Structure 1
């Protein structure tokens, strides 16, 4: 679940421009995140995709990480290709910087 800014007062899914066709998935993933946060006996990391992710994008091998706040790439978009998101997840498995925390990633 992405927040619109550091105040963490507004979730991206609660903004007027959030696509209604994605609301069901957004609500379900937000609920699963809350379950993870409340868990005491699990080691977890929660991956939050960029607002737009592209199954057909070529792998660039480049991405920028963030926490649970909306981040934008150099073109002002919250965008990542599936291959680069997968790479970010694999890299996190090795780095373990987000144990017990959410993270997001954007690519160019």
Structure 2
């Protein structure tokens, strides 16, 4: 989402081929968001979720709003997102919340 609460999938530049996945994940998030009887944390990966990207061990966290790296990209490697998820499991900073993370390309 941006500061006006517009979801990325609702922007004109969003790729049509990803719309089904985007709608399904949004529905699952909104289903959880309304729940109080279960502990949950929702992970929204960056737009460019790179299976072959390097593990840098560094990332920046965000909440509901879209965040970008130093090159203005919504990017993270699988390895760095895995670290962010493990760190969240340890720290519990986003219980009953959504988070995202971005990293730098190497």
- TM-score of the two chains, using structure 2 as the length reference: 0.95
Tell me the SS of whatever aligns to 1:21: helix
The runs of 4+ residues in structure 1 deviating greater than 4 Å are none
Give 1:81 shift: 0.3
Partner residue in 2 for 1:32: 28
Provide the alpha-carbon RMSD of the alignment: 0.7
- Counterparts of residues 9-48 of structure 1 (less than 5 Å): 10-48=6-44
1:7 to 4, 7, 27: 4
CA displacement 1:23-81 (0-9 Å, x = unmatched): 00000000000110111210000000011110000100000000011101011101000
Unaligned runs of 5+ in 1: none
> Equivalent residues in 2 for 1:72-91 (5 A)?
72-91=68-87
The unaligned stretches of length 5 or more in structure 2 are none
Deviation at 1:6, TM superposition (A): 2.3
Q: Number of residues paired by the alignment?
A: 104
Q: 1:53 aligns with which of 49, 67, 74?
A: 49
* 1:63 maps onto 2:59 in alignment: yes
